[in-house]
């Protein structure tokens, strides 16, 4: 079963909201599908983030959300990989890695200087994934990918 990645649009909102609500619950937030949907709708509507959605067999299986920022020193755009989530039923199938690779490709094609993200020190699975995908842990950011 192949994983496909595409940039999310309005037609993806309902499926993404379910995943985003599950993501928020993973981090201890109370379930609130309406709030999750509204948050995503506003980010997409106002162009405040880029969301890439992974599908397996036509079903939304995960997403990554990127927020833009700028580096004055490098005089370039950079991206914050703020959210990465894969549905429990789709894990261990390469979906997270496909999303990371798609985020890097997006940023590269956008002309960005890099991507950064943070994760907790005890998130061993995520840290292993980032390292395997070529991300580097350093003193100022948990992980960064220079492009």
What domains can you pick out in the chain, each with its CATH number? 3-146 (3.40.630.30)
DSSP class of 140: S
The three-state (H, E, C) secondary structure of 67-79, written as one string: EEEEECCCCEEEE
- Predicted confidence band of residue 118 (pLDDT cuts 50, 70, 90): confident
The token pair that represents 25 in the structure block: 């619950």
Total residues found in the chain within this entry: 147
The tens digit of pLDDT for each residue in 36-58 reads 999 999 999 999 999 999 999 99
φ, ψ for residue 46, nearest 5 deg: -95, 5
**Residue (of 86, 64, 71) closest to 146 by Cα position:** 71
- State both tokens at 127: 């840290």
Beta bridge partners of residue 85, listed in sequence order: 63
Question: Is residue 67 packed enough to be buried (19+ CB in 10 Å), middle (13-18) or exposed (0-12)?
Answer: middle
pLDDT of residue 102: 97
CA separation for the pair 106, 17 (Å, rounded): 22
pLDDT recorded at residue 138: 72
In whole angstroms, give the CA distance from residue 78 to residue 126.
21
Q: How many CB atoms lie within 10 A of CB 134?
A: 12
Residue whose entry in the numeric block shows the structure tokens 């220079």: 146
CB 74 within 8 A of CB 63: no
Confidence of residue 147 (pLDDT cuts 50, 70, 90): low
Give the lowest-confidence range in 22-26, 58-62, 109-113, 120-124: 120-124
- pLDDT score recorded for residue 139: 62
d(CA 20, CA 8): 13
């Amino acid at each position: 079963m192949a994983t496909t990645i595409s940039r999310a649009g309005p037609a993806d909102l309902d499926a993404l909201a379910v995943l985003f609500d599950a993501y928020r619950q993973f981090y201890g937030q109370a379930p609130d599908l309406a709030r999750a949907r509204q948050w995503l709708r506003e980010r997409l509507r106002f162009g405040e983030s880029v969301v890439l959605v992974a599908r397996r067999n036509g079903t939304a299986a995960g997403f990554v959300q990127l927020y833009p920022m700028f580096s004055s020193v490098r005089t370039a755009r950079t991206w914050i990989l703020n959210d990465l989530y894969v549905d429990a039923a789709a894990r261990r199938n390469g979906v997270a890695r496909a999303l990371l690779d798609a985020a890097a490709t997006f940023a590269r094609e956008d002309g960005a200087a890099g991507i950064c993200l943070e994760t907790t020190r005890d998130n061993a699975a995520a840290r292993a994934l980032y390292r395997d995908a070529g991300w580097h842990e350093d003193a100022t950011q948990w992980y960064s990918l220079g492009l």
